[in-house]
Structure 1
Amino acid sequence: MANTVQARKRARQSVARNKHNSSLRSMLRTAIKRVRSAIEAGDKAVAADVFQKATSVIDRVADKKIIHKNKAARHKSRLSAAIKSLA
């Protein structure tokens, strides 16, 4: 347990920050799952539309350093390649 006033405040802040970051991470995972399900459905137009929205979410999360920018780029690249491979 934190003993100083400063340490107690930092503990409170870290709880709030963790809650916010967890929410953003969840939003990211949901966006990626939506794109994957659209790809599995086989509709290229819908998948492209969902991918565009997911790209925005992925970039926002990466800008806030919740995930690394290279991980964000990797997700976007793989999803884009999967959409392009649809017939």
Structure 2
Amino acid sequence: MAGKSVQLPADRPVETIDVAIVGSGPAGISTALHLVQRDPAWAGRMVVIDKAVHPRDKLCGGGVTHLGQNVLARLGLSLEPT
């Protein structure tokens, strides 16, 4: 959907979106996860917007440094398959 407009569903009008996070990379997704962990009600009041379609073939997106793994662990996430 890169470069295309996406219409929000009618049952979720724009007025209910309090936070728009631009970019679904590590910073954007970490911000979204942090907000939802602090208050689960944020899940229904935010939208994450990205110009790219995910998953995508991008080599740098496949690697996570040790520091990144520590950040993921603090967010309650793991890279281990479940």
TM bucket by the smaller chain?
A: 0.3 to 0.5
- The structure whose Rg is larger is 1
Higher relative contact order (CA 8 A, sep 6+): 2
TM-score by length of 2: 0.35
TM-score by length of 1: 0.33
